Chains A and B, each alone.
Chain A
Amino acid sequence: MDVGGPLSEEGLVQLLTPAGERIGNEQFDPFAAHLSAHDLRAFWRDMTVLRSWDLEATSLQRQGELGLWVQSLGQEAAQIGSGHALREPDFVFPSYREHGVALTRDVDLVEILRIFRGLQHGAWNPADHGFHLYSLVIGTHALHATGYAMALDRDGLVASGDPDKDGAVVAYFGDGATSQGDVSEAMVFAAVNNAPVVFFVQNNQFAISEPATRQSRVPIADRGKGFGIPSVRVDGNDVIACHAVTRWALEHARSGQGPVLIEAFTYRMGAHTTSDDPTRYRSKAQDEHWRERDPIARLDAHLTRSGELDEQFRAQVAAECKALGERTRTTVRGWTKPPTTTMFDHVYALPHATVEAERAWFERYESSFADVEATR
């Protein structure tokens, strides 16, 4: 592996060592200073709930209840830490793996599974959550995020004088996505428009089977600099550091100082999706190495060490996980397909003759079977 390449661990901002020890950082400590034990427990809770629910979804997929499942396993710290740095006026453009960020934006996790059961392509109202639909065409949403940020600025919601009103945008994408032209173009537009957007790259070291060395020969964070965008590398398995760095970046953006790129260096502990077979391209040893750096375990160690995580809280969260698991199973199994003709809905906002003619034909065609059945 190249020293200094995209898989190096040099220059990562870290506030919590793998052993769970809190260490100082002059630049970013101020952005973690507000975190109480209560807050950290909430992080722990979210990460724990997320993982348990994620495994539940995997097993539903195995049972044939979902067509596909995309795990966020191992990326809980990057997602929960950064997600909790967001405020109400902010807006998120996720890829397809950001279930943890969804959780912090009050999206009902269960609803996400509608997508993976093939019921619909989007499963929440983005405007209600400040959380856009998942994007499957890699990199496309980085531009949407930039445009949204430009619009926030136009709407007077950046450096407005009232920090509570100010907003910023976060675009989440992976190490693989950084190769797409759209992502570079997003950085061009963000930079020249000084748009309040944070590009949050979860470098989980893989784009499906390809290691990040196929996408870059230098750390992904360097990419921003070429566009004039300040960048930070952060330990993506350190929830406190991810939180602090994102908070810093959002304040930078909201206060009119323009875009930021964050690279959160982490590891995809699971398969790419339930269709994937990682044994074909990575070793058990590699998995093992990273299992030892589990982001939840790290915070757990920290809280345990400081005595902030008692059995009662653990039990309460375990119950929560169980309840969510049950609700997930029941809800998913209970979903039935809406009337077939809904597939013709919302192609256009106003009637379009081709769609209307096809819908009408389809209704006649379907009812011809009903007629046949009725006469039987």
Chain B
Amino acid sequence: MLEAIIEILLKTAVILALPLGALPIIIHVERRGAAFIQKRLGPNRVGPLGLLQPLADVAKFMFKEEVHPSHVRPFFYTAAPVVALVVAILPLACIPIFAPIEIFGRSVYPEVFKSDMGIFFAFAASALGSYGILLAGWASNNKYSMLGAIRACAQMVSYELSLSTSLVAMIFLYGSNDIHVMVAEQTGYWFGFLPKWGFFLQPVAAMLFLIGIFAESNRLPFDLAEGESEIVAGYHIEYSSMKFALFFMAEYIHMIALSALFIIMFFGGYSLLPGMELIADRIPASLAILQALSLIIKVASMIWFFVWVRWSFPRFRYDQLMNLGWERLLPIGIANLIVTVLFVYFRNH
């Protein structure tokens, strides 16, 4: 019983350390990337090449004055950021970083919560994401934040559809919803050079999932919630310093979790990147580390893609957003689902 607890604690430490550690880097990448796209330099004063800038931000958030407005509903006001963060971190619990390995005679699973329903749990947890925003919007008790919260929530609820249809399509394709099986399905190559990733099998589902991710995490083309120009930073207007930082962290972790899901399903999860087998064959012990490394590289590239998209697309209007979600993506999703089902049926028979 004790080893189990230790093992879980160790794993949660690793799972938490990775995104939290990566957070400052992501923020930095975000700001530098935005600058790079807008042909300006971006923060490079603090520390060499501005690398210490995120630390400065974090310090800023910590020491800012903790504003607690009076007209706010106290309990829910403070609860909102916590809920947002917790819910953001939950999906990470079931995302494996490397294949199960043999240590001290026991096979150890990388993810904290081992179950053949892995992908489902991750997805369910991400579905809870909208609670944080709703609570924040409603608790801060002013029109703009309420409006922002309602919009964000509506958007997240409707884009869950496109996410779920593509998820189901992929599950059909891989035949099981255990992540390890999915990754195993995607290792290896077609015609020697093309890696057997889900993306090439199911480009349509991939696109759907990608758009879904952007909408779920309220990233740019869909960031109606904090549309600064219209409703002044949306639901987290009343939040200052640390609570705002929590929201910020929650958003990014949620983004990481969703892109990790995307990678698992469409880019082979922790399957080794093309060049890496050579090293892995030579040093068998290093397989796990290499798998983790390839996963991290993939997620990093996804993050960069987020930043890239954020600064190159205009914001959607609310009705366009809803229209896209319900009248465009949903039909495509269902059609894709049907096609995959037929494909799988004929493939098996």
A binds B: no
